[in-house]
Chains A and B, each alone.
Chain A
Amino acid sequence: MGFFRSMDISASALTAERFRLDVIAENIANMNTTRTAEGGPYRRKTVSFEQIQKPFSEYLDTSFRGNGVRVSAVHEDPSPFKLVYDPNHPDANEEGYVEMPNVDIVTEMIDMISASRAYEANVTALNAYKNIAMRALEIGK
């Protein structure tokens, strides 16, 4: 439905931001994980977004029509693991060093604030649209 488009755009952003928050939560949860299915410690994950392309049926239509945003991929952070000296750790190597995940809690916290603020901003946009629609219904009252 055309007049809900702006709502759908905001909704897609909400979904994307929520997904980003999921990934950040996963990073924080695995801050101390030294074993993963791929072997080695947990690698920090990041999310990238992309604009949703218009469907093929609308390609000849040159007027602007937003479709929102979606998650394009989840990347692994290639930065090196932190080495922590802990000879009693079961995953320590011969020298007594343990490879810890490359998750930095401060970075994650900043990302988290950014994600939740972005979520809030999209909720505000949605509410603004709703107010506009309500005002439209009041025309001529």
Chain B
Amino acid sequence: MNMIGQVAGIQNIGQTNGINTNNSINTNSNFIKIFEDALKMAAEADQVSKESGTELLDMTVEDLHSVIIDAEKAQLTLGLAVQIRNRVIDAYNEIMRMQI
């Protein structure tokens, strides 16, 4: 549920970027933070998945399904990270296209 709270942070872009230029640096770091968090989660899930994969090869794994489920989790979290990246880049492009 953490992620969704952070995604909601995207909504702030409209408010902070509109008129108040003082916040531009802050907003920029927000962009990066959202993306970094998503990527960190994906990396963690991937790491868990990798570890259970190694356990599978070692034949020390207790359940086959836990390996598959870890892989599924990693895949889903990566999907989420990619979607967040897409949203962030879309928002960035939108701002860059703004007429001056």
Which residues of A approach B to under 8 Å, CB–CB? 1-4, 7, 11, 14-15, 18, 123, 126, 130, 133-134, 137, 140
Contacts and interface: CB of A to CB of B under 8 A. Distances in A.
B94 interface: no
A14 B64 CA distance: 10
A133 B65 contact: no
Contact of A137 (B2, B63, B72, B79): B79
16 contacts: A1-B2, A2-B2, A3-B3, A3-B4, A4-B73, A7-B73, A14-B63, A15-B63, A15-B65, A18-B65, A126-B69, A130-B76, A134-B79, A137-B76, A137-B79, A140-B87
B83 A137 contact: yes
A1 B2 CA distance: 8
A17 to B, nearest CB: 10
Interface of B: 1-4, 63, 65-66, 69, 72-73, 76, 79-80, 83, 87
Binding site of B, secondary structure by majority: helix, strand, loop or mixed?
helix
A75 B66 CA distance: 26
Given A3-B3, A15-B63, A18-B63, A130 B72 contact: yes
A64 to B, nearest CB: 15
Nearest to B72: A130
Contact of A11 (B3, B4, B69, B79): B69
A11 B66 contact: yes
A11 B1 contact: no
Given A11-B69, A15-B63, A18-B65, 8 more contacts: A1-B2, A11-B66, A18-B63, A126-B72, A133-B79, A134-B79, A137-B79, A137-B83
